[in-house]
């Protein structure tokens, strides 16, 4: 094959062989994903699996070139994989339409791949993949674009910084609680209410503060108090989840009872249009005579009141069923994802109903998706450049040439001779709360029989073996934001893993409570246990409880903090006039997203002058000076 000959000539025979046998996972088959899958299939990679939850929409066709009009509504991953099979008939390629955060995709599943490539468009999923790759000890290539800006970097546990090594400053517009709760006046107010209040309280983890702010005065403190009371009332509605009356009790609470309470405050409506109560029975009767199909709602037209009601009723039942049928029968939570059709349609329907209540202009599902997902338009050319750089990095990673890998940036500037810059991979942040962890696999034969106390006892027993984790006697165990055990809370010790909702695919973090008299650097490093079943070869006689992966734990030697004015350490030094500035573009949760970018030297410039110059190019905020993608003013030049 000519491709193999070319790879051999450029990278060597061993690299060409490794490329042809490597197993790759591509997460995301959208803007970057289409370009990436095409490039991989034509570059000698023979074993590829793609995962994407989304289906093809008309708006995708202007840049996701593997898709055509006849593919609309079909799964992106399936169509993209079929397309690359047409390019390369001999390729071993498979597609999955699924959410990568599902428990099915656990550490064991990720471990079957030699490399994972992210082509995601939201921070939450990217954080998840970053964590699972660290736990599975699989290298990850992270990418992102935002307009004409892009970035590619390689993440390998213990060797490079991870996606979470530095904060992701995302500019988020916030709204006063009183506006969201009582006096919405724009479609975005209704969408924030539907997404961050109603959806989160019913189906997800509580997000009372996100996108909502309050001044610390008496009036808003009263608003906060009432909001908490309403949140508690909504939480009680969860008892009806799964019953035929679930949609009715939710509807009557938020569109009837709550509106009646607002109408009782006559002074509030002296200079505003008062809201209108909605009647469940009237809308249900009208919906019976409608030909609207909630299973296939139109995405580009605003819904009528009756259609919005029908979609609300359908999606409320769907989401309740998903939670009710959660694994092991334990109620979990659903995070909002703009690519989750049920979640998006529920938010769109309830936002539309609220808009009718308050006399606000309607938005289509497509417009709701854009506002709820903070989507930034993507540029096809940038996606193509970034995908090409990802393939180059992938070849070097699978051929074990990590020393040749680098972080690359795409930054368009008509005054510069080059639009692609690079720098060596950065070392891990010594205080990173994600990659400065010891990732191990906790194998449990029977989740219904093994208790949390068994796990704690097993960890204490390890202290007397060569696999000592240096956690000491006083430890805490948490799962996400939930405390499972510490010295002052032992209520869960006799509960089974199943009862606690700790099934396969979940992760628990074990940390030392008392850091005095630490004998080793490892003693300050928490342990993350990825819950998994017994190995197939041990299935006949599995151990009740086992922890593995000790040989894969990196050494956590102290790392020197980065010097604030350290220059970019590669051959392409950036030179600035005294009043020039280099910044990093905001990490955006946009259409293709933008990953972590690095500090660039700024000479002889005050903070105030920097802020003024940043404002001139449309970037604002304190974080603009610290962590943004490479961008300079017109006088900056690059010398080679």
Q: Quick one: what percent of the chain has pLDDT higher than 70?
A: 73
> What's the pLDDT score for residue 223?
53
Rounded distance between C-alpha atoms, residue 403 and residue 425, angstroms: 9
Determine the average pLDDT of the residues in 428-443: 90
Maximum pairwise Cα distance, the chain? 80
DSSP line for 83-108: HHHHH-TT-EEEEE-S-TTSTTS-HH
Is 626's pLDDT higher than 80?
no
Q: Among candidates 143, 45, 59, which has minimal Cα distance to 87?
A: 45
Report the run of H or E that residue 483 belongs to, with start and end.
strand 482-485
pLDDT of residue 419: 83
The per-residue pLDDT for 483 is: 92
133, 178, 405, 435: the catalytic one is: 178
| Closest by CA position to 429, among listed 88, 164, 200 | 164
47-51 vs 92-96, strand pairing mode: parallel
Bridge partners (DSSP) listed for residue 140: 116, 155
Chain length of the chain: 640
pLDDT at 56: 87
How many whole angstroms separate alpha carbon 524 and alpha carbon 471? Answer: 8
Radius of gyration of the chain (CA): 26
* Angle at CA of residue 224, ends 223 and 229, nearest 5°: 95
Residue 413 pLDDT > 80: no
Backbone angles phi, psi at 23, to 5 degrees: -100, 120
Q: Is 435 a catalytic residue?
A: no
Q: pLDDT per residue over 116-139, tens digit each?
A: 999 998 888 899 999 999 999 999
The predicted model gives 546-571 an average pLDDT of 56
Cβ atoms of 575 and 637 within 8 Å: the answer is: yes
Element (H, E) at 51: strand 47-51
| Residue 5: per-residue pLDDT | 78
Instruction: Choose the weakest-confidence range: 301-305, 326-330, 342-346, 445-449.
Output: 326-330
CA distance 511 to 478: 9
Looking at residue 230, its pLDDT comes to 64
Q: Which of 187, 173, 66, 82 is nearest to 119 (CA)?
A: 66
pLDDT band at 621 (very low <50, low <70, confident <90, very high): very low
Instruction: Say how far apart CA 2 and CA 8 lie, in whole Å.
Output: 10
Q: Which residue has the higher pLDDT, 433 or 633?
A: 433
Which pLDDT belongs to residue 164?
Answer: 92
Element containing residue 442 per DSSP (H, E): strand 438-444
Q: Stretch 178-202: mean pLDDT, rounded? A: 86
**Three-state DSSP class for residue 626:** coil
> What proportion of the chain, given as a percentage, has pLDDT over 90?
40
pLDDT of residue 167: 80
Residue pLDDT, tens place only, 338-378: 888 999 999 999 999 999 999 999 999 988 988 887 655 67
308-322, 551-565, 599-613, range with the lowest pLDDT: 599-613
pLDDT at 594 over 90: no
Burial class (CB in 10 A: 0-12, 13-18, 19+), 407: buried
Tell me what pLDDT residue 414 has.
60
H/E element holding 421?
A: strand 420-424
pLDDT tens digits for 224-260?
A: 556 566 666 666 676 778 788 889 999 999 999 989 9
Mean pLDDT of 417-442: 88
Average pLDDT value for residue range 477-505: 91
List beta partners, residue 147.
Answer: 378
| H-run or E-run covering 633 | none
pLDDT (tens digit per residue) in 15-56: 888 999 999 999 999 999 999 999 999 998 999 999 998 888
CA angle 513/519/525 to nearest 5° reads 50
How many angstroms separate the CA atoms of 624 and 610, rounded? Answer: 9
More confident residue, 479 or 204: 479
Query: How large is the angle between the packed helices 305-324 and 280-288, nearest 10 degrees?
Result: 100
Helix axes 305-324, 341-358, angle to 10 degrees: 140
User: Taking Cα atoms as reference points, which of 550, 625, 565, 629 lies closest to residue 594?
Assistant: 629
Q: Is the pLDDT of residue 208 over 60?
A: no
Per-range mean pLDDT, top range of 135-144, 403-412, 484-493, 514-523:
135-144
More confident residue, 362 or 272: 362
Evaluate if residue 76 carries a pLDDT over 90. yes
pLDDT at residue 109, as a whole number: 95
Please say whether the beta carbons of 178 and 140 come within 8 A. Answer: no
Collapse the DSSP code of 384 into the 3-class scheme (helix H, G, I; strand E, B; otherwise coil) and give the result.
helix
Backbone φ, ψ for residue 438 (5° rounding): -100, 110
pLDDT at 219: 46
Angle at 454 between CA 449 and CA 455, to 5 degrees: 110
From the list 37, 523, 596, 99, the residue with the least C-alpha distance to 337 is 99
What pLDDT sits at residue 542?
58
> How would residue 439 be classed by pLDDT, with cut points 50, 70 and 90?
very high
pLDDT exceeds cutoff 90 at 508: yes
Residue 626 phi, psi dihedral angles, 5° rounding: -100, -50
Beta bridge mates, 47: 23, 92
**Residue where the block lists tokens 């539309």:** 352
Choose the weakest-confidence range: 174-178, 247-251, 271-275.
174-178
Average pLDDT for the chain: 78
Nearest to 419 by CA among 429, 411, 430, 407: 411
Question: Given the structure tokens 């990953």, which residue do they identify?
Answer: 595
Q: What is the 3-state secondary structure (H, E, C) of 112-133?
A: CCCEEEECCCCHHHHHHHHHHH
Q: Which is more confidently placed, 239 or 457?
A: 457
Pull the structure tokens for residue 430.
């010594």
Q: Among the listed ranges 276-285, 292-301, 542-551, which one has the minimum average pLDDT value?
A: 542-551
pLDDT at 62: 79
Rounded-to-integer distance, Cα 638 and Cα 421, Å: 10
Cβ-based neighbour number of residue 567 at 10 Å: 14
Residue 581: per-residue pLDDT: 34
Distance CA 208, CA 181 (A): 11
Please give the DSSP secondary-structure letter assigned to residue 48.
E
Cα(80)–Cα(94) distance, rounded to whole angstroms? 10
> Angle at the Cα of 327 (from 324 to 330), degrees rounded to 5?
60
- Tokens 């000592």 correspond to 468
Range of lowest pLDDT (53-57, 150-154, 535-539): 535-539
Q: Give residue 557's pLDDT.
A: 53
């Amino acid at each position: 094959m000519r491709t193999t000959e070319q790879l051999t000539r450029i990278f060597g025979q061993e690299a060409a062989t490794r490329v042809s046998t490597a197993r790759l996972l591509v997460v995301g088959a959208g803007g970057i994903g289409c370009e990436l899958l095409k490039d991989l299939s034509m570059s000698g990679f023979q074993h590829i699996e793609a995962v994407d939850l989304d289906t093809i929409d008309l708006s995708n066709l202007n840049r996701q070139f593997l898709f055509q009009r006849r593919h609309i509504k079909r799964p992106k991953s399936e169509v993209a994989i079929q397309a690359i099979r047409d390019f390369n008939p001999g390729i071993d390629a498979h597609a999955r339409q699924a959410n990568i955060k599902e428990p099915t995709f656990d550490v064991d599943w990720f471990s079957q791949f030699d490399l994972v490539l992210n082509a995601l468009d939201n921070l939450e999923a990217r954080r998840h993949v970053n964590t699972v790759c660290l736990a599975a000890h699989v290298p990850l290539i992270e990418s992102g674009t935002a307009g004409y800006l892009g970035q590619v970097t390689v993440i390998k546990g213990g060797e490079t910084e991870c996606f979470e090594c530095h904060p992701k400053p995302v500019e988020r517009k916030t709204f006063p609680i009183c506006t969201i709760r009582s006096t919405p006046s724009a479609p975005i107010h209704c969408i924030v209410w539907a997404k961050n209040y109603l959806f989160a309280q019913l189906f997800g983890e509580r997000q009372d503060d996100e996108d909502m702010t309050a001044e610390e005065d008496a009036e808003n403190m009263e608003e906060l108090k009432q909001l908490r009371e309403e949140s508690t009332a909504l939480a009680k509605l969860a008892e009806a989840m799964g019953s035929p009356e679930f949609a009715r009790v939710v509807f009557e609470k938020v569109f009837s009872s709550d509106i009646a309470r607002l109408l009782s405050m006559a002074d509030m409506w002296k200079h505003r249009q008062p809201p209108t109560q909605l009647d469940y029975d009237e809308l249900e009767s009208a919906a019976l005579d409608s030909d609207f199909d909630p299973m296939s709602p139109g995405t580009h037209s605003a819904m009528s009141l009756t259609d919005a009601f029908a979609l609300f009723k359908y999606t409320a039942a769907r989401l309740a069923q998903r939670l009710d049928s959660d694994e092991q029968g334990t109620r979990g939570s659903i995070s909002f994802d703009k690519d989750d059709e049920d979640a998006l349609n529920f938010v769109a329907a309830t936002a539309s109903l609220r808009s009718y209540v308050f006399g606000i202009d309607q938005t289509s599902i497509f417009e709701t998706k854009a506002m709820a997902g903070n989507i930034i338009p993507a540029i096809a050319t940038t996606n193509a450049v970034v995908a090409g750089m990802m393939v180059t990095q992938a070849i070097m990673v699978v051929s074990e040439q990590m020393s040749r890998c680098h972080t690359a940036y795409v930054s368009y500037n008509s005054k510069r001779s080059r639009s692609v810059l690079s720098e060596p991979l950065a070392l891990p942040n010594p205080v990173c709360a994600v990659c400065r962890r010891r990732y191990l696999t906790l194998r449990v034969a029977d989740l219904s029989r093994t208790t949390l106390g068994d796990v704690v006892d097993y960890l204490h027993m390890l202290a007397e073996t060569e696999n000592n984790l240096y956690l000491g006697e006083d430890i805490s165990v948490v799962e996400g934001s939930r405390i499972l055990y510490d010295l002052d809370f032992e209520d869960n010790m006799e509960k089974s893993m199943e009862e606690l909702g700790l099934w396969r695919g979940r992760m628990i973090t074990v940390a030392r409570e008392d850091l005095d008299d630490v004998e080793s650097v490892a003693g300050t490093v928490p342990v993350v246990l990825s819950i998994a079943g017994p190995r197939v070869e041990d299935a006949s006689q599995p151990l009740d409880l086992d922890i593995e992966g000790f040989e894969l734990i990196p050494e956590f030697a102290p790392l020197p903090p980065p010097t604030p004015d350290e220059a970019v350490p590669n051959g392409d030094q950036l030179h600035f006039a005294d009043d020039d500035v280099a910044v990093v573009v905001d990490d955006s949760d946009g259409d293709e997203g933008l990953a972590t970018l690095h500090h660039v030297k700024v000479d002889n410039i005050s903070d105030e002058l920097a802020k003024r110059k940043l404002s001139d190019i449309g970037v604002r905020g304190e974080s603009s000076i610290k962590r943004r993608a490479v961008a300079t003013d017109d006088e900056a030049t690059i010398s080679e």
